[in-house]
Amino acid sequence: MTRLRSTLANMAVTDERSPLSGQRVEELEFQDGTIRSRTGNVGELLTDVLARGAAEGLEAEGESAATQHQSLTASSMGYGAVFVEVGVDAQLGEIRVRRVCGAFAAGHILNPLLAKSQYVGGLIGGIGMALHERTTTDLASGHIVGDSLADYLIPVHADIPEFDIAMIEEEDLQLPSGVKGIGMLGTAGIQAAIANAEDQAKSPNTKVLGSSSESAAKRQYALEINRSGTAGFGARRPFQMLAALGWPKTVSVVRKAIKGEQGKGG
């Protein structure tokens, strides 16, 4: 992104046809699809800059150093497992998440109420990612359509199901305090669980789910992630985590869900 902006800024200041011609690159900023000068009352649309200098588009490459997990002697990551029950309208294809069961292990929990709130917030965000949110680009201008909360579809109270959250207390001797970061642990995995439950709930007569091919493709991708096992949150097995709570009924329900009971997935 930085390289693209630098290229666009240089194109604008060196083009005599641009209102920004002769301006200093350091004084330019990008805002609302334009390049503007912070010191002068001049600016230009990005589309105009591209139309003159790079009608075929621009490309830039970047890289960031990856964490070499294989070389780590210890990891302070949290673990979790998520299971959901969904309902699918056979006529409209509408999907409703009815229940969410999540079990998480993130070291010593200092504030259980705050930790549970973080998990629930992450799960709600994941529901939005799976069923509501989408990115639409205006092909004419390149702008993102729905770039504000007034236009962007996110879950509301009516979309939120019942949450059953279990926090597994664990002792990590590698950490002096035993405390781990929860972060986005609640968000990871629920998309795949929803896609898996949706796949189980569908019948041959169910219409194509989602309002667009993009939505269907996203959920299919999440489903494939789930089947490949990469949505499993580390080494802990879901049944072991649930059984640690003394939840034989929940474990039984989950086992039935994974064996193909209609409308449940994890």
Q: What is the CATH number of the domain that holds 161?
A: 3.30.365.10
Residues 48 and 92 in one domain: no
pTM of the model as a whole:
0.56
32: left (phi over 0), alpha (psi -120 to 50) or beta: left
* Phi, then psi, of 99 in degrees rounded to 5: -145, 150
**Residue 65, in any domain of the structure:** no
For residue 29, the enclosing domain spans: 2-53
161's tokens: 């199901």
**Residue 154, in any domain of the structure:** yes
Residue with tokens 């666009």: 8
**Residue 67, in any domain of the structure:** no
**Residue 60, in any domain of the structure:** no
8: left (phi over 0), alpha (psi -120 to 50) or beta: alpha
Which residues, other chains included, contact 82 with Cβ-Cβ below 8 Å and sequence gap of 6+?
100, 101, 102, 123, 189, 190, 193, 266
- Cβ neighbours around 234 below 10 Å, total: 12
One digit per residue, the tens of pLDDT, for the chain of length 266 reads: 578 888 888 899 998 899 898 888 888 999 888 898 988 788 999 888 888 888 787 887 777 777 676 777 777 788 899 999 988 887 777 888 999 999 999 988 999 999 999 999 999 999 999 888 888 888 888 888 888 888 888 888 989 998 999 998 888 887 878 888 888 899 988 988 998 888 887 755 444 434 344 555 555 544 444 443 333 333 333 444 444 444 444 444 444 444 444 455 55
Sheet of strand 28-31: strand arrangement: 28-31, 34-37, 43-45
